[in-house]
Amino acid sequence: MPLKEYEAKRDFTRTKEPSGKSKKGKTMQSIFVVQKHKATRLHYDFRLEVDGVLKSWAVPKGPSMNPADKRLAVMVEDHPYDYKDFEGTIPEGEYGAGTVMIWDCGTYEAQQGDPGEALERGALKIRLSGKKLKGGFALVRTAMGGKKENWLLIKEKDEFAQSKSDILEDEPDSATSGRTMEEITGGMKNEK
């Protein structure tokens, strides 16, 4: 069962995270979501819908629109499809305790056929159509060892590439609610 590791790490009587269910059936477009996550350390969780679940990578420095930046992306457990809508707080004492923001979301297209097969091979090229992230990106598995698989998330050189600005600083708030991390932590509703 692909979500067994996800379910084993969470107590759903304490956290509002969605329980482990995969999406049934195919949709016309595959989705992606990037969640800004203030846990022990601030990082960004990059998630791609593949075969009904969200394949997930923790990106410590966050995604970049600069092709010169090769961002470490550590593969973590698959997440349920409904996690794409999770924005809120994970209680103290629970796995991943802290604030989660939907920093970006949208759809993606795999550039070389089936994304699951490309991930198995260790290289996936995608085209993102997000609210913030746009254009070509590559996920490439590295030879670096460790308990988890290390990948690189790299922006491709295209019309959306930027080398002079930092999208994380320029676009810090939620793509869906417009809230800041502090507002999400405090449970405030956005009046914008």
The reported pLDDT for the residue numbered 26 is 58
- Decide if pLDDT at 179 tops 60: yes
- Least confident range from 11-25, 54-68, 164-178: namely 11-25
Does the pLDDT value for residue 36 go beyond 90? Answer: yes
Q: How far apart are CA 119 and CA 153, in angstroms?
A: 13
Q: What is the distance between the alpha carbons of residues 50 and 147, in angstroms, rounded to a whole number?
A: 22
Question: CA angle, 68 as apex, 34 and 115 as ends, to 5°?
Answer: 45
Per-domain boundaries in the chain: 4-11+27-171
Q: Minimum mean pLDDT among 20-29, 30-39, 93-102: which range?
A: 20-29
pLDDT above 80: residue 108: yes
What per-residue confidence (pLDDT) applies to 166? 96
- 33, 54 in Cβ contact below 8 A? yes
Residue 116 and residue 50 in contact, taking contact as beta carbons nearer than 8 Å: yes
User: What is the pTM (predicted TM-score) of this model?
Assistant: 0.90
